[in-house]
Amino acid sequence: MVAVIHVQIMNATSSQFSTLHTSLARGRVFNKTLASSAAALLLVGRVWAALPGSQIDQSILTPQGQGENYGIAVSANQSLAQTFVVGLSGMLTEVDLQMGRRQPAVAPLQFELRRTASGVPNLSAQALLFSTTLATNLFPLGMPYDFAVAVDLGNGIPVSAGEQLAVVCSTTGDWYYWSSWKLADIYPSGSTCWRPMSRSYFVTLTGQDSGLQTWVLVPEPLSLLPLGLALLVFYGRRRS
């Protein structure tokens, strides 16, 4: 019986691949240590390849022109956050904001991605996953009807399905409008959180959500290559 051990084939050294290639060409594996490495790397190895592009994971687009839709302010007086639950394991590569600004807004927006604790953003240094500053001119005037600003997370943040994270927005100047909805709970997996500058913690605005969208790059195993190599290793071991 073959024990299944998840090992990425990229972990093999070039010398292992060279020796393995020679061994396979002769129909056997010379070294027992190498045989174990080959079994781990090839019989049960997984080669990961990114899909052509990231996929939309979570999407909270607030309704427009209906009752309780409005822009909640990110200002020098208060920070806002929106929590969400990751649906796809992989690399979180982008967050889109349904956010605009007032005409006088000149200070940039501070964007953070954080872990959560008890359903609100965790403000400890260890909980910060990503941070960047967004220039004012990236935001349209007024409250947008769609996702208006795309935040590129660089090489991506590793995320796992089921974990709750938070997007935190703050500024030192005039208002940014984060499109928000509180007439009904349109996103039960998360909520808008509010922090006045006089407090050191966030509180949940129950039943209220603010517009954002997340993109995740999902790795996928290339099953045929490991299977073919596994058969070669198995054949070599049978001949040895």
Spatial separation of the C-alpha atoms in residues 185 and 1, rounded to whole Å: 51
- Same structural domain, 66 and 182: yes
Q: Is the pTM of this model over 0.85?
A: no
How many domains is the chain built from?
2
- Cβ atoms 37, 7 nearer than 8 A: no
Residue 145 and residue 231 share a domain: no
In a domain, 2, yes or no: no
3-state secondary structure 48-116: EEECCCCEEEEEECCCCCCCCEEEEEEECCEEEEEEEECCCCEEEEEEEECEEECCCCCCCEEEEEEEE
Q: Does residue 39 lie within any of the structural domains?
A: yes
Do residues 149 and 211 share a domain? yes
170 and 191 part of one domain: yes
Same domain, yes or no, for 31 and 108? no
- What is the residue range of 187's domain? 55-219
The C-alpha atoms of residue 101 and residue 42 are separated, in whole angstroms, by 54
Select from 222, 233, 228 the least CA-distant residue to 37. Answer: 233
Encode pLDDT of 96-106 as tens digits: 999 999 887 78
pLDDT digits (tens, 9 = 90+) for 80-96: 999 999 999 999 999 99
Same domain, 88 and 28: no
Query: What distance separates the 2 farthest-apart alpha carbons in the chain?
Result: 78
Mean pLDDT along residues 186-195 = 95
Same domain assignment for residues 171 and 113: yes
Give dist(CA 84, CA 213) in Å, integer: 10
Check which CATH number belongs to the domain holding 191 and give it: 2.60.120
Burial of 63 (0-12, 13-18, 19+ CB in 10 A): middle
Task: Point out which residues pair with 14 in neighbouring strands.
Answer: none
Q: What confidence tens digit (pLDDT) does each residue in 148-186 have? A: 999 999 999 999 999 999 999 999 988 899 999 887 789
